[in-house]
Structure 1
Amino acid sequence: MEEVRPPGRRRLVVGISGATGIAYGVQVLRFARAADVETHLVVTSAAQQTREYETDLSARDLRAMADVTYKPSDVGAAIASGSFRADGMIVAPCSVRTLSAIAHGLGDNALTRAADVTLKERRRLVLLVRETPLTLAHLRAMAAVSEMGGVVMPPVPAFYLRPRSVEDIVRHTAARALDLLDIDVPGTPRWGDDADAAVPTPLTALSNSTRRAHR
């Protein structure tokens, strides 16, 4: 039986896997809540370890950022069914292990199963793959996901915006990921929106500072 949803409110599945960069997933959740998007979260056990290393958040704090949360072992979760309606899914960060499982349709936990469902239902899947350098195995997995309609979005900083902090970089990347699902984050700097932002001075400033350092 197909689920009946109240009209108007959008729904997003968010996966957080065990790569470094859990701040991206946290910021996606914060932006989604500010945009009144209903979020369904699954965090892998490896991601919980990363949470302890990289943040001061407790597991309860992280769960509180989402409307609904699921255990990674719950392969019968609502998000693991195609009849569960969602506007798309973001995995932020996405580990190579999770990327590979998605690329080969393993569906061995709630996160990878939800991603598989997202692809088979022809919904937008965005993977913030966090790994470098890349082996041929990594690249082939990325190609496989892309061929299935997923979007591989490594969290690459936009330095033309002159970020002043790590938080600036994280916020812009999270906003761009949400852009791919047509979820607008007000205040996101966009190239061309402001005439002053289009002045190509950052590289000039960097070049001058490099020259001074080598005198």
Structure 2
Amino acid sequence: MESQNYVLAITGASGTAYAIRLAQAMLQSGATLHLVVSEAARQVALRELGTQLPGEAATSKEWLTFLATAFDQHPAAEWGFDSFEPPTDARLHCHSIRDYSAGIASGSFLTSGMVVCPCSMGTLSSVATGASTNLIQRAADVHLKERRPLVMVPRETPLGLIALENMVRLTNAGATILPSMPGFYQNPVCVADLVNFVVARICDHLRIPNSLIQRWGDES
């Protein structure tokens, strides 16, 4: 059995642009996106993007409108992102972080994978220890126990021993640790190029088709 349901959890680490661009790419691919956002993520987004993320009770329509204009404000307007027009058949489901009745809280709900982007050290720790104190942590735990792809995108520097040990623990449990470390061999000229590099790598690990970057060895 296969499903094109993907879960995107946005937590309170720096790197909101990665999450927004990833949501856009997932919807453009035709996937069904299940979105969960922490309160800390909303605080970070306001500082980084100069605009508010939709509230916890926001509808899918409100989120699609936001995704179409997320990079229009200063400072993001200077980062070089292409405009985004949500597909007319976009499938986006928004879940409260406290809603354990959501399908993604159960292994019986089929998904193709989950990504926590950006992933705070607090979320990393909670998932590594099986805390499951909110829907993000529970959904991540479900993906681990069901042996489905789980991609964690931490953004922290330097990395302390506890964080490193948590990453090893999650790797041993089946997760992929994919730090937001863009490569420079694509000769980036703007912030969007760096963000797209990381988003492309995330999509690759979730088997989501994309053409966000020119790949190594591709001379076309």
TM-score scaled to structure 2, two decimals? 0.81
1:149 aligns with 2:156: no
CA spacing shift, 1:187–1:50, aligned 2, 3 Å:
closer
CA distance in structure 1 between the partners assigned to 2:196 and 2:17 by the alignment: 9
C-alpha displacement of 1:59: 2.7
Specify the SS of the correspondent of 1:68. strand
Any gaps of 5 or more consecutive residues in structure 2? 55-60, 68-90
Whether the 8 Å contact between 2:98 and 2:135 is mirrored in structure 1 is yes
C-alpha displacement of 1:28: 0.8
- Equivalent residue in structure 1 for 2:162, among 124, 130, 137: 137
Q: Identify which of structures 1 and 2 has the higher relative contact order when contacts are C-alpha pairs closer than 8 Å and 6+ apart.
A: 2
1:19 aligns with 2:13: yes
CA spacing shift, 1:168–1:187, aligned 2, 3 Å:
closer
- Equivalent residue in structure 1 for 2:42, among 41, 48, 53: 48
C-alpha displacement of 1:62: 7.2
Identity within the alignment, %: 39
C-alpha displacement of 1:158: 0.5
C-alpha displacement of 1:186: 2.2
Whether the 8 Å contact between 1:76 and 1:110 is mirrored in structure 2 is no
Q: How does 1:157-176 map to 2 (within 5 A)?
A: 157-176=182-201
Q: Which amino acid aligns with 1:154?
A: P
Match of 1:80 in 2: 105
Specify the SS of the correspondent of 2:185. helix
Which 4+ stretches in 1 moved above 4 angstroms?
A: none
1:189 aligns with 2:214: yes
Specify the SS of the correspondent of 1:159. coil
Bigger Cα Rg: 1
C-alpha displacement of 1:52: 1.0
Match of 1:211 in 2: none
Whether the 8 Å contact between 1:10 and 1:38 is mirrored in structure 2 is yes
Q: How does 1:121-136 map to 2 (within 5 A)?
A: 121-136=146-161
Per-residue displacement from partner, 1:5-49 (whole Å, max 9, x unpaired)? Answer: 9x8x61110000000101111111000111111100000010011
Structure having the higher helix fraction is: 1
TM-score scaled to structure 1, two decimals? 0.83
- Equivalent residue in structure 1 for 2:52, among 50, 54, 58: 58
Across the aligned residues of Structure 1 and Structure 2, the Cα RMSD in angstroms comes to 1.8
CA spacing shift, 1:176–1:166, aligned 2, 3 Å:
same
Q: Which range is displaced more, 27-36 or 180-189?
A: 180-189
Whether the 8 Å contact between 1:172 and 1:188 is mirrored in structure 2 is yes
